[in-house]
Amino acid sequence: VAEKKQFVEPTVSVPVDVLEATTFFQAPTIEA
């Protein structure tokens, strides 16, 4: 009736610093 899914061990990753993972937007500029 309902095939069960293959079991995968539940995992939580190592923490990542949000600020480190963020690339902040810089406005494109042109210099004369």
Partner 1 sequence: MTDNILRPHEHIVYTEFDGREAVLVDLNTKRYYTLNETAMLVWRALESGRTKAEIAHELTVVYDVSVEHAADSVERLLASLAAHRLLRSGA
- Which residues contact partner 1 by CB under 8 A? 4-19, 21
Q: Is the dihedral of CA 8, 11, 14, 16 positive or negative?
A: positive
Least distance to partner 1 from the beta carbon of 23, Å? 15
What is the closest distance, in whole angstroms, from the C-beta atom of residue 3 to partner 1 in the complex? 9
First to last CA, the chain: 71
Report the nearest approach of partner 1 to the CB of residue 17 (Å): 6
Tokens of 31: 């210099």
**Which residue, 19 or 30, is less far from partner 1 as judged by CB?**
19
